[in-house]
A and B are shown apart, each in its own frame.
Chain A
């Protein structure tokens, strides 16, 4: 009995932020009734997008975690992978679909499997801007000149940002992130 109560309390504590945010949102909707409908419908829309993308990503990550040995990933994306690593990182990120938050849990598993920090940062950058389906769509809406120019400068920017981050995040912090990713090998669970 006591165990259940403790567990419930712990769960409530973990969910404190979303509960507070939801309460804030409800208050906002009561205070500004003219925006209530729009707020509710955008919440529903965002939840739908999330449900379409996030649960399957996590399940696929479970498979990756179980099936792909660390050595394999090290060879492809590890610190000694040479030019292969960034190229694979670009390809993985660019083949993706869905919002950027889908990339974070993947990055955590890649970290655990030994991909280098720079390659992970390139993967995040590619996911954010050089997705192939999105690029094709962009050319339709904004024209080839605009989209190609943006793609070209983004390729440079992604690598530049990855290197700037690699230089400005201390090695100790990177080691801490890797240790954290590794220690949670029973799930990609995060506390805070």
Chain B
């Protein structure tokens, strides 16, 4: 049911809106649809990019790169893997936990998780459409650097 939460909220809100003002509700619906169609080309492109990266980089492949003994190179690879893949949290967290129990480094896993959440290379076409090239690229660059810094903090906190 978790997955349907947005639909449930949308239906509830539309019902309230409809009860209050039919014309405004219709207007809102059309606005939403029009906006959706406006971004659709970028969306479809991003979907295809995600499918391609996921086919090339699955869980096993990622696990192989993130060993505890991989050192700074491993951290860099973890950050890059997190940046280019787009895995939902409910898949990524169990995977990360499993990898940790099987000898992956805390530093590498923390880097991977942070960069996975904050950096989105394949979704850049969408982000650029809304935020412009400059802001989108800078945001991802800052988030990438931060992911590595944050991982050192997490690894230190876990080792205490």
Among A52, A59, A65, A143, the most chain B Cβ lie within 10 Å of the Cβ of A59
Q: Are B88 and A146 in contact (CB under 8 A)?
A: no
Which residues does chain A contribute within 8 Å of B56, judged by CB atoms?
Answer: 35
Which residues does chain A contribute within 8 Å of B102, judged by CB atoms?
Answer: none
Give the nearest-CB partner of A48 in chain B: B3
Which residues does chain B contribute within 8 Å of A148, judged by CB atoms?
Answer: 157
CB distance from A126 to the nearest CB of B (A): 11
Cross-chain contact of A141 among B96, B139, B150 (Cβ < 8 A): B96
Q: Is A171 an interface residue (CB 8 A)?
A: no
The bracket for how many chain B residues form the interface is 35 or more
Q: Are A150 and B6 in contact (CB under 8 A)?
A: no
Among B13, B36, B149, the most chain A Cβ lie within 10 Å of the Cβ of B36
- Interface residue count on the A side (C-beta < 8 Å): 82
Q: Nearest 6 A-B pairs (CB), nearest first?
A: A62-B32, A189-B38, A187-B34, A149-B157, A188-B35, A43-B51
Binding site for A on B (CB under 8 A): 2-7, 9-10, 13-14, 17, 24-25, 27-52, 54-56, 58, 86, 88-90, 93-94, 96-97, 100, 106, 109-110, 113-114, 117-118, 120, 123, 125-127, 129-132, 134-135, 138-139, 142-143, 146, 149-150, 153-154, 157-158, 160
Q: A52-B6, A148-B157, A161-B142 are in contact. List 18 more A-B contacts (CB 8 A).
A: A18-B45, A25-B48, A25-B51, A46-B50, A54-B36, A57-B6, A59-B33, A63-B17, A63-B28, A104-B127, A105-B130, A124-B139, A133-B2, A134-B93, A150-B154, A157-B150, A176-B132, A189-B39
30 A-B pairs with CB atoms under 8 Å apart are A16-B41, A24-B52, A38-B54, A39-B52, A42-B55, A50-B43, A59-B32, A66-B27, A98-B6, A99-B86, A101-B126, A104-B127, A121-B139, A141-B94, A141-B96, A142-B93, A145-B160, A146-B154, A146-B157, A149-B157, A150-B114, A153-B149, A154-B114, A154-B150, A160-B146, A161-B142, A165-B142, A168-B138, A173-B132, A189-B34
